[in-house]
Structure 1
Amino acid sequence: MSYIMKKPKCNNIFSWAVGLTASLILYLAPTGATATETLQAIKNIQSEVSRALANEQFAQINAMADNLSESRERLPDGRWKLSFVIYGLTGDIPKRDASAWHARLQLMDRWIAATPGNPTPYVAKAQFLLAYAWDARGNGYANTVKEEDWPIFRQRIAQARDTLEKSANISKRSPLWYEKMQDIATAQSWPEEDFVRLFREGAAKEPANYFLYFNAADYLLPRWHGSARQLADFVNSAVAATEKKEGQTLYTRIYWSLLWALEDKTFSPGYADWPRMRQGFEDIVRVYPDNWNLNAYTYYACMAQDWQTARIIGAKLTTVAMELWKDPQVYKRCMQEPSSGRQKSAAHIQQPASHPR
């Protein structure tokens, strides 16, 4: 089943700036010092939102979201800033702290009651309920979830869906509505034809919202509702629809978005092709030469054992982003000459262990 519709006749559908970084490990900003302008910008957005929420300055958050929705302003790495307004709303809540989660839920409801005509509090509450559901379930495989936690997970996912559907005449004005509904569809195991319909509707309205493509890729993972072949077909169709303006950008962005799932299997047979991904990184950094993007380019070159590219791009880094590399020794080993006698492999790359959403 093809996910990509025929391109509308509008000539400037993809005329907004090239690409969005797809790394989902950055939905929540790091708490310490950051290595790139992008990470600092995310931290600033989420800090401003957290302060406003704590003080119940709901109109301030709505105005920020409205402005970013209108301007489609991007981070230095190319992602929409808008997507980060509602992430981080639960990052300070301890796991399984029922009283803290309940207090935050009440705050979400006060936000809606205070500004019922704005779409942002509804998508924010849906995001909250999704996080609340995953707090009950945990991020492990299905066979690691306690039987008594499944009904709680399903109930909270259903509440997120109910929030979006009942407010659709208002909340659908936000591009984030489709992102959150995709997360719900994946969690509820929607039939593929229903998920495709949702994706197409969202992409028709916001064809440059690459998070829609990233969420579709999540859905098509073998661990969810697809296969490596279905995922590859989707990626190829997405690139074909955007290649004239984006080159291989979307190829790289989508597979990068799956780092949490593919880990060191990214370049296994049936998944990403390094020459195409390398070209995608070239297309990305030509427009967004942010240090985060350059770190990721180096990181994946190392994973692919393309040592020459790793050293060339690695030499351009202003700072080594530990948020990605995790261990400075991993970067150092990547930069070593292969002729040093030490066997190098993708095993040197340490991957994030869980999906943060």
Structure 2
Amino acid sequence: MKVAASLILCLASLALADDFKLINGKEYKNVTVSRIEPDGIVLRTKSGIAKVYFVELPKDVQEHFHNNAANAAGHSASKAAFQNQQAELASLPPIEETKDKITEEIWQFRLKTRRLYNASKFDELEALASQIRSERGRFGNGSWKIVQFYESLGCRSDEPEGMWQLHARIHENWDTAKPRSITAHVAHADFLTQYAWRARGSGFANTVTKEGWRLFSERLAKAKELLDKSADFEPKCPVWWRVRMTVARGQGWSWDDYEKLFQDAKTFEPAFWGYDVAKATYLLPRWHGQPGEWEYALTLEDNRPNGLGLETYARVVYALNGYYKNIFRETHASWPQAREGFELIRQRYPDSLELLSGYCRLACLAEDRVVARKLFDQLGGRMIANIWGDQKDFQNYRNWAYSR
């Protein structure tokens, strides 16, 4: 018990240290000890995970962990492991910021679509949407082409109000030119949901102004009106349901009504994983759910006929990860299920560097060193900045993965 007590005191003092230095002078601030291993300790830092070997620690810190030179076997093992790691790290490929060719292909598609939209070439927009919708086309990362079509029409949040009003006029002209077009109505409704959120802001409810609430409600109501009007249009569009789910979240629909909408959507297109992301977002505690609800609801979709299996689970965890510092520590999300889902994704979309990188980063957050190391081997030093942050973060995670 004395050993355990001293170890707890050591961990507490280390976790609160503002200035923790190795014998080589390297400094860690505000670290916490995640795990003690036979040859060292695993630290959590703001930039990720780091493995520190006992031989890197000052003697007094080593002694707190009951590792010292007198313990010849332990000390020798730590020294050998540290030396092996340093040699292995030195042989790793250099880190190089890289672009994903599939992401670049998507951006080119979006640029082409946006040019048609900016020029109000409604006939060509209609023809393009009709083609990709009928083909149920997806890019090499599993992203639906019809989703990318609509997303290419969006207005950036930092655009001035005059630009948003210009977009509103383009959509009104499109509706007038194509009064029975499902594409025009879905695009306009999608724009209005974005315009509604611009008025509301992205903060919690207590940060929204009275005028913000008024415009939010007004614009969502207009979006719903467009969706109601186009409900019987042919052909059907999978994004119609996705936009309606966004309206439902903003308007605070009851769970029964929302679930019916979700089930109708999945009946229409079981493989459209955007519905599952929308439902999980609705069930976030910051919106209409309670802790654990989105995680439980997600498990109910694993065996849906004609669905994607655990790919859907992985897609949702990947999408919602941005709401948390570590989704596996802060929620009931299952790493084994997410891992199995990502293995399916890798089989189906083997050329996506973005998905490989995202899978690797989640493996690091889950502290699955075996999987993370395998994926870093496949990355070979290629780093996508919007996933890893910067080269320092990438290097810290990679160093941890290759520690023993």
Conservation of the 8 A alpha-carbon contact between 1:126 and 1:160 = yes
Report the CA distance shift for 1:247/1:53 in structure 2 as closer, same or farther (over 3 A).
closer
**1:59 aligned to 2:120?**
no
Report the CA distance shift for 1:89/1:152 in structure 2 as closer, same or farther (over 3 A).
same
**1:297 aligned to 2:359?**
yes
Report the CA distance shift for 1:166/1:172 in structure 2 as closer, same or farther (over 3 A).
farther
Q: Which amino acid aligns with 1:279?
A: E
Conservation of the 8 A alpha-carbon contact between 2:192 and 2:220 = yes
Structure number with larger C-alpha Rg: 2
* Aligned position for 1:208: 271
Report the CA distance shift for 1:270/1:126 in structure 2 as closer, same or farther (over 3 A).
same
Please state whether the residue corresponding to 1:82 is helix, strand or coil: helix
Please state whether the residue corresponding to 2:360 is helix, strand or coil: helix
TM-score of the superposed pair, with normalisation by structure 1: 0.80
Alpha-carbon distance in 1 for matches of 2:402, 2:376: 18
Conservation of the 8 A alpha-carbon contact between 1:122 and 1:171 = no
* Aligned position for 2:113: 49
Alpha-carbon distance in 2 for matches of 1:116, 1:216: 30
Alpha-carbon distance in 1 for matches of 2:157, 2:292: 38
Alpha-carbon distance in 2 for matches of 1:153, 1:278: 38
Deviations 1:220-274 (A, max 9, x none): 11111112332122111101325x974421211121121232x224102642121
Conservation of the 8 A alpha-carbon contact between 2:370 and 2:401 = no
Conservation of the 8 A alpha-carbon contact between 2:364 and 2:401 = no
Kindly state the Cα deviation for residue 291 of structure 1 after the two structures are TM-superposed.
Answer: 0.8
* Aligned position for 1:140: 203
Conservation of the 8 A alpha-carbon contact between 2:220 and 2:250 = yes
* Aligned position for 1:354: none
Alpha-carbon distance in 2 for matches of 1:178, 1:155: 20
* Aligned position for 1:81: 145
* Aligned position for 1:274: 335
Q: 1:119 aligns with which of 182, 189, 209?
A: 182
Q: Which amino acid aligns with 2:142?
A: G
Q: Which amino acid aligns with 1:83?
A: V
Please state whether the residue corresponding to 1:258 is helix, strand or coil: helix
Q: Which amino acid aligns with 1:253?
A: R
TM-score of the superposed pair, with normalisation by structure 2: 0.71
Number of equivalenced pairs: 306
Conservation of the 8 A alpha-carbon contact between 1:123 and 1:171 = no
Q: 2:261 aligns with which of 198, 210, 224?
A: 198
Gaps of 5+ in 1: 1-32, 342-357
Greater per-residue strand proportion: 2
- Between the two proteins, what is the percent identity of the paired residues? 29
1:67-106 correspondence runs (5 A): 67-92=131-156, 94-95=158-159, 97-106=160-169
Alpha-carbon distance in 1 for matches of 2:343, 2:281: 24
Gaps of 5+ in 2: 1-96
Q: Which amino acid aligns with 1:45?
A: F
User: Once superposed, what is the RMSD of the aligned Cα atoms?
Assistant: 2.2
**1:38 aligned to 2:99?**
no
Kindly state the Cα deviation for residue 126 of structure 1 after the two structures are TM-superposed.
Answer: 0.7
Report the CA distance shift for 1:145/1:37 in structure 2 as closer, same or farther (over 3 A).
same
Kindly state the Cα deviation for residue 140 of structure 1 after the two structures are TM-superposed.
Answer: 1.4
Conservation of the 8 A alpha-carbon contact between 2:147 and 2:239 = yes
Report the CA distance shift for 1:117/1:109 in structure 2 as closer, same or farther (over 3 A).
same
Report the CA distance shift for 1:80/1:338 in structure 2 as closer, same or farther (over 3 A).
closer
* Aligned position for 1:166: 229
Deviations 1:28-83 (A, max 9, x none): xxxxx972133112212221111001111111111111111111111111121111
Q: Structure 1 residue runs of 4+, over 3 Å off? A: 91-95, 244-247, 337-341
Q: Which amino acid aligns with 1:199?
A: F
